[in-house]
Amino acid sequence: MSKSLRLSEKWFRRGLWLVALVFASFLIGLGGTLVGDLPKVETQLQVDDFLDKAAAQTLRKQVRDARDAEQDAQTALEQAQLQRSKAQSESRTARDSFDSWLATRSVTQRADQDPEVLSRTQGLDALRINERKTQQAVEQQQQAALDARQAAAAATDRLHDLEASGYELMRVEQRKVELRVFLYRLALTLPLLAIAGWLFVKKRKGTYWPFVWGFIFFALFAFFVELVPYLPSYGGYVRYVVGIAITAIVGRYAILALNRYLERQKLAEAMPDQERRKELSYDVALARLAKSVCPGCERPVDLKNEKIDFCPHCGIGLFDHCGQCSTRKSAFAKFCHACGTGAESGSSTASPATPA
């Protein structure tokens, strides 16, 4: 149809489509903000809301205490290992010194009569005792760290079991919350779709059509972007059922619209030629002629063939002759392109074909 419009009218229409898009964008922004705030209606769920709080607190305290005990035992173990290393070093040094001393001097036949030998032996014995004590301290701290680690692991396992049941209950409640939020979205979106459908049927060609189309774009965006992605799945059943239902509704509308269109075309083709051309909009007729189709029945016609003055499908007059200059012209033209005489001044036409 754009080829039949005046240049200024084309630009005005483009500007109005821009108005429709801008209007739709603001509506989409407002709707998106509103839909984004819908989840705030529901309370934020936490796993602690689904646990035995006293038992959970007790287990968490046990875990913390066991971790602290393990950390303390680990610190004490490092100190004990340091003391053991020190005692082992002192004992080893003293034993090496004693062996060197024995090798460089002669000893008496009776060791109990040698005071220095007895003194050195007693010193070595004391170092061995101290070394054993440090080894025992290390083993005690290792045992304490192991006990604390095992206690923490056991408490952690019990806490995980308790939280696992809580998470399962929370997932069930979360699904209920998601379903309620979806119903909020549905309650907001369905009226928008209903209004958009009514506007499309009744007002899309009215004076304020840019706002009508802007609202339609907004309603479609709200449905396909703000609603459909949040549609509960339940294994795909809900999505497929909804898809089937929407397809059935749209398909039924399309079939009924096609039947109504065909019925209107049949009635129109039964009307006299002059009345049929009066019923056609000037712009619509020019747009269809530009596509090389009959303005009446929209079937293809070879308009370049100068011998064709009537549609071979429906019989509507396509060309006639100017009553002033007898030039062949379009039957839908308001003025003769050769002499400028108005179509109302009268035109000479061939006898129209009698419609079947």
Alpha helices by DSSP H, 105-236: 115-202, 209-221
Please report which confidence band the pLDDT of residue 1 belongs to, taking 50, 70 and 90 as the band edges: very low
**Can you give the pLDDT at residue 105?**
56
The pLDDT assigned to 350 comes to: 43
7 pLDDT higher than 50: yes
Q: Residue 248's pLDDT is what?
A: 92
Domain segments of the chain: what residues?
A: 1-232, 273-348
- DSSP readout, 261-285? HHHHHHHHHTS-HHHHHHHS-HHHH
For residue 188, count other CB atoms closer than 10 A to its CB.
Answer: 16
Which strand (E) or helix (H) includes residue 245? helix 237-269
Rounded percentage of the chain residues whose pLDDT exceeds 70? 85
pLDDT over threshold 70, residue 115: no
What's the whole-number mean pLDDT along residues 17-34? 87
3-state DSSP call for residue 122? helix
Which tokens sit at 246?
């929407």
What distance in Å separates the CA atoms of residue 260 and residue 40, rounded to the nearest whole number?
A: 47
235: its two tokens: 């294994």
Higher pLDDT, 338 or 97: 338
Residue 213 sits at the vertex; the CA angle it makes with 35 and 16, to the nearest 5 degrees, is: 120
Amino acid 351: pLDDT: 41
Mean pLDDT for the stretch of residues 244-265 = 86
pTM of the prediction? Answer: 0.51
d(CA 52, CA 63): 16
- H or E element in which residue 100 lies: helix 53-104
Residue type, 140: Q
Nearest 10 degrees: Cα torsion 250, 252, 258, 263: -150
Which residues lie below 8 Å from residue 229, measured CB to CB, with a gap of 6+?
A: none
Res 139 pLDDT > 70: yes
Sheet strands side by side (includes 328-330) = 328-330, 319-322, 347-348
Side chain identity, residue 225: V
Q: What is the Cα 318 distance to its own chain's centre?
A: 53
Angle formed by the axes of helices 7-37 and 209-221, nearest 10° = 40
Three-state DSSP at 337 gives coil
User: Which pLDDT score, from 0 to 100, does residue 356 have?
Assistant: 38
Nearest CA-CA partner of 264 in 230, 231, 298: 298
